[in-house]
Amino acid sequence: MQINLNIVTVTKDDSESLKKTINSVLYIANCNPNINFLHHIQDGNSKDNTKSYINKFKRYKKSSNYLLFFRSCKDRGIFDAMNIASKNFKNNDLIIYLNAGDELSNHINVMLFSNYLHDFLKRKETLAFFRSKNVYKNTSYFMPPNNIMSTKAFQEWIMSHTPVHQSIIFKVSNKYQLKYSLDFQIQSDSFLIYTILKKYSKPIFYNLELCKFELGGLSGNYLNFNKTSLQLKEQIKIMKLRGQGFEAITLTFVLMIIKFLLHNLFGKHFPFIHAKINRLIKN
């Protein structure tokens, strides 16, 4: 049976990163004819060459199981754009959110991937977690680490570690509204994930590398003290959702302050240090 997999990509004035994402999805589509890849590009009214690139791509793209849908309009930020793109999905639709610059891994075992999607569709759970490769230049680490191989082990790991949304496939459910809260500016994705896990669904983990996630984005910026404080407040709300106590929250507070000091001390070299720190604490 042919499976439809929706990929939502939000972008604004970042055509080069968008090309990376589109090419990665197209590559996996060409490797896996048993899955229809429906790629929804939600553009924030870009002023660069994004629109001309999309028009050119549509004229020359060759793949029967890859369809690209492009919409451009003003939005109130990344999470609002993700909400706009998600409005028309229906019950049991499968969705991956890949931002511009994120990529599907070229190491995906396409036969296993197809089998996992079929298995996921049969289950009552609505979140399927995979492995992400988080990279910055010449350093990288996996989330979850390679020693996490089963759903049982993953269910323990996720209660103290936050995966990236690019490694998750959402199954639309009538149980809840698939909507990112605009009260969160940095970690609305994590808040949505843990809200679903707390109220509606247990996690399923499939031992497969799904995405390549580039570090250095919004959640990796600790230069500004106000933004660091905001990220800490949002993280504490998420930690409370997953039942973590005072000791874990205190440790997170200390780590945030350390990252703020390191980012201001090392500037552009901080993302490399950040990756090294994350490699230690995310495992």
Question: What is the structure's pLDDT at 104?
Answer: 96
Same-domain check for residues 175 and 226: no
Same structural domain, 61 and 125: yes
Query: pLDDT per residue over 261-282, tens digit each?
Result: 877 777 666 666 666 666 665 5
My answer on whether 206 and 157 are in the same domain is yes
Do residues 204 and 273 both lie within one domain?
no
Residues 191 and 162 in one domain: yes
Instruction: Examine the domain organization and report whether 16 and 85 are in the same domain.
Output: yes
Domain that holds residue 257: 219-281
d(CA 108, CA 215): 20
Say yes or no: 61 and 165 in one domain.
yes
pLDDT of 279 reads 61
The CATH number of whichever domain residue 33 belongs to comes to 3.90.550.10
Let me know: does 235 contact 252? Beta carbons within 8 Å. yes
Whether the upstream peptide bond of residue 271 has omega within 30° of 0, thus cis, is no
Torsion of CA 243, 277, 102, 118, to 10 degrees: -50
In degrees, rounded to 5, the angle at the alpha carbon of residue 161 between the alpha carbons of residues 9 and 115 is 55
Instruction: Give the pLDDT confidence score for residue 140 in this predicted structure.
Output: 84
- DSSP structural state of residue 102: B
144-174 pLDDT per residue, tens: 999 999 999 999 999 989 999 999 999 999 9
**Which pLDDT score is estimated for 76?**
94
Domain end: 183, 202, 218, which one?
A: 218
The domain boundary, picked from 187, 218, 249, lies at: 218
Residue 252, pLDDT score: 79
Looking at the structure, do residues 230 and 144 belong to the same domain, yes or no?
A: no
Q: Can you give the pLDDT of all 283 residues of the chain as single tens digits?
A: 789 999 999 999 999 999 999 999 999 999 999 999 999 999 999 999 999 999 998 887 778 899 999 999 999 999 999 999 999 899 999 999 999 999 999 999 999 999 999 999 999 999 999 999 988 777 788 999 999 999 999 999 999 899 999 999 999 999 998 999 999 999 999 999 999 999 999 999 999 999 998 876 555 566 677 777 888 899 899 999 888 888 888 887 887 777 778 777 776 666 666 666 666 655 4
Domain-ending residue, one of 197, 218, 239: 218
Give residue 36's pLDDT. 96
Instruction: Tell whether 169 and 31 lie within a shared domain.
Output: yes
Using an 8 Å Cβ cutoff, are 28 and 37 in contact? Answer: yes
Domain identity same for 22 and 138: yes
Same domain (yes/no): 224, 151: no
**What's the pLDDT score for residue 2?**
87
Q: Are residues 125 and 228 in the same domain?
A: no
pLDDT, tens digit, 9 for 90 and up, residues 179-204: 999 999 999 999 999 999 999 999 99
Q: What domain count does the chain have?
A: 2
> Residue 280: its pLDDT value, please?
62
Separation between Cα atoms, residue 59 and residue 217, nearest integer Å: 32
